[in-house]
Amino acid sequence: MVNDFTKKYLFSKGIDEYFSGGYQAYRFVIHFFKEVFVPPFHLREVIKQCYGVGVKSLGLITLTGFIVGIVFTKQSRPSLEEFGATSWLPSLMGIAIVKALGPLVTALICAGKVGSGMGAELGSMRVTEQIDAMEVSAINPFKYLVVTRVVATTLAIPILSLYCSFVGLYGSYINVNSEEATSFISFFKNGFSTIRFLDVFTSVVKSIIFGFTIGVIACYKGFNATEGTSGVGRAANQTVVLAMFLIFIEELVIVQMSNWIRYF
């Protein structure tokens, strides 16, 4: 009897915490939109965060995008060779990388690298009471710490995504050129021949949403971290897991919506 009561209590407590956490996250997002358009804008801090998100991630994005382009081309070639359609390889790579792989790979890398770093940084500031000290000093910590970081990820990740797509296509070109001696101009001309404005627009919109998601989750988890140093690690871990999960959900929804628009 006690065990059944305990299970019901824990289950009820878990449901309450789940909905309470969702409501707190909703209020956090609304608070962001209220603050983002109100001065001061802390442009210097935004630029600093953009540098941390963008420039410091270039090396990893370059290596990953290049490898993805080569590997995906190698995996796709045998299937096209069965139908004698290897000439379609540049077009296939253009569609796959620009529409899907570029934004998705960039978002996942930034969720792991940038998201965890932001979550841990803000969590550390919370548990060491640095955020409380900013409030005492008449500085709006939400404006200075959260808004600037979310704006930085929202701006920087789309640029990284386009860069990753180009690097991935270059890696694909290296593989195609080694097999068929295709010229650089011919490869990219064929690669972009099947890409429409809607494809590029959808890719950019996805990247903006991915960047906003990563920034909001990282700042929310870090800004509300508790329980000392263990809470910092928990905030970083939850940021990565939740951000990646939502990125896949958003990818599915946006692809479906773009297909509906294409049909109309």
Q: How far apart are CA 239 and CA 112, in angstroms?
A: 8
Residue 105 pLDDT: 93
How high is the mean pLDDT of the chain?
A: 85
Average of pLDDT values for 135-160?
90
Cα separations (Å) of 62 from 51, 115, 158, 212? 16, 19, 14, 22
Q: How far apart are CA 21 and CA 15, in angstroms?
A: 10
Considering only residues 190 and 262, tell me which one the structure prediction assigns the higher pLDDT.
Answer: 190
Residue 206 pLDDT: 92
Q: How far apart are CA 247 and CA 255, in angstroms?
A: 12
Q: What is the pTM (predicted TM-score) of this model?
A: 0.88
> What secondary structure, in 3-state letters, does the chain show?
CHHHHHHHHHHHHHHHHHHHHHHHHHHHHHHHHHHHCCCCCCHHHHHHHHHHHCHHHHHHHHHHHHHHHHHHHHHHHHHHHHCCCHHHHHHHHHHHHHHHHHHHHHHHHHHHHHHHHHHHHHHHHHHCCHHHHHHHCCCCHHHHHHHHHHHHHHHHHHHHHHHHHHHHHHHHHHHHHHHHCCCHHHHHHHHHHCCCHHHHHHHHHHHHHHHHHHHHHHHHHHHCCCCHHHHHHHHHHHHHHHHHHHHHHHHHHHHHHHHHHHHC
Tokens 């359609």 appear where? 85
Residue 4 pLDDT: 59
Average of pLDDT values for 158-166?
93
Residue 149 pLDDT: 94
pLDDT per position as a tens digit, 36-75 = 888 888 899 999 999 999 888 999 999 999 999 999 888 8
Instruction: Check whether 5 has a pLDDT greater than 80.
Output: no
pLDDT per position as a tens digit, 84-131 = 777 788 888 888 888 888 999 999 999 999 999 999 998 888 888 888
pLDDT per position as a tens digit, 241-256 = 999 999 999 999 988 8
Instruction: Check whether 238 has a pLDDT greater than 60.
Output: yes
Residue 19 pLDDT: 54
Residues with Cβ within 8 Å of 11's Cβ and at least 6 positions away in sequence, in order, are: none
Residue 182 pLDDT: 80
pLDDT per position as a tens digit, 152-161 = 999 999 999 9
Let me know if 100 is exposed, middle or buried by CB neighbors in 10 A (0-12, 13-18, 19+): middle
Confidence band (pLDDT; 50, 70, 90) for 9? very low
pLDDT per position as a tens digit, 203-213 = 999 999 999 99
pLDDT per position as a tens digit, 35-45 = 888 888 889 99
Instruction: Check whether 233 has a pLDDT greater than 90.
Output: no
Confidence band (pLDDT; 50, 70, 90) for 10? very low
pLDDT-above-70 percentage for the chain = 91
> Do 239 and 218 touch, CB atoms closer than 8 A?
yes
Residue 192 pLDDT: 84
